[in-house]
Structure 1
Amino acid sequence: MKESRRPVLTDDELLAGLADGSDEVLNQLYRRYFPMILHFITTNSGSEDDAKDIYQEAIVVLYEKVRGGSLELYCQLKTYIYSVSRRLWLKQLAQRNRYMVRDIETPAGEDFAGQQVDDDFIDHEERDRQFNLMADSLARLGEPCRTLLEDFYIQHLSMQEITEKFGYTNADNAKTQKYKCLMRLKRLFFSEYKQS
C-alpha cells in the first residue's frame, strides 16, 4: 500500500486554510517554516522552547491579520513569518539585554517587507498592551463585580444562573448590576489607557 502524500499548498491556500482554522494548514506551516525559526533562535542565544514560543506568537500575529482581513503580502509567506519571528526574538533579546544576533540567510534573498511587518507588529503589540490593561483593570475592579463579569463573559453563565449564584431577586436586577460593573470596568480601563 502506498502512503498518500499531502498536497503542497501555495501561500494563498495556506492563508485561506489558516483563516478557516484548518489543523492541516497549521501542521504544514509548522513543518515548513519552524525549522528555519528554530535555527535562527538557537544560533542567537535561544533554546528550542524559545523558538517554539516565538514561532507560535508569529503564527498568532499572522492569524490575527488573516482573520481581520488586513493582511496584504508583498513577499513570500516564508519571509513574512521569518520577519515577524525575528522581530519578536530581537525584542525578547533586548529585554534580556543580549544583543548578539547572527542572521541566517534571508529566505529567497528577499526584502523583509519591512514596513508591512512593522505595522503588523505594532498592531499586535498594541492589542497585547490593551489586553494587559484590561486584565489589570479587571483585577482592580474588586468583588463581586470581577466575578460577575467573568461569569458572564468568560464562563458564559446565563443571567438566571448569575441571579441564583449571587442571590439577586431577579434577572433584571442581575443585568442592572452587570451593567454597573461593566461601566466601572470601562472607567478603570480608560483611565489607565489615557495615562499610558
Structure 2
Amino acid sequence: MKVKVRRLEHAEGLPLPDYQTEHAAGFDLVAAVPDDVSVTIAPGARALIPTGLIFELPRGMEAQVRPRSGLAVKHGVTVLNSPGTIDADYRGEVAVILINHGTDPFVVARGERVAQMIVAPVARVKLREAKRLTATKRGAGGFGSTGISEAPSHDGTGRRKAVAKRSGKAQKKSKS
C-alpha cells in the first residue's frame, strides 16, 4: 500500500519515516524541532513534538501513533494519548504528545526518534440499541477479571450478579 506524505518546511533535511527492520510493524517518527532549539521535558511534564509531516491515508485506514519501547524503558518517556489516532481525512501536521514519567529531564533534539506509527484498517459499524445482549462466560468482568472461574456479570436488568470465587488454589496470607 502506498501512502502520500507531505514534508513541511521545518522537516527539510530529516529522513522520511521508515521501518527499522524487515518485520517491524511500525515506522519511526522523528522530532522536527529546530536545530538550535531542543525541547526539554521535565519529570511529570508533557510536550507536543512536531514531526513536520502530513499524511494522506487511504479511505478505510487509520494511523496509530505509539510509544517507542526504548524511550519508555531507558527514560520513562511515552506517548501520552497512546495510541494517538490519525484519521484518513485529517490533513494537518502529525505531532506527538510526549510525557516524561522518568526522574530526570528528557531532551528532545532534532531528528530524535520519538514515536512509531502503524497504519491499519478501520472497521466502521452501525450501532443498534438493544435491551439485552448475548450472555458470555466472562460477562461484565473487567479489570483483573481474567483468571476468575466465573466473572461478575449483569442479568440484563442492570443489576450486578454475585461475584464468583477465584479459580485455582487459594493463597493463604502469612501471619507475621
Q: TM-score, normalised by structure 2?
A: 0.27
> Per chain length, whose mean CA-contact separation is higher, i.e. which structure has more relative contact order (CA < 8 Å, sep 6+)?
2
**Higher share in strand:** 2
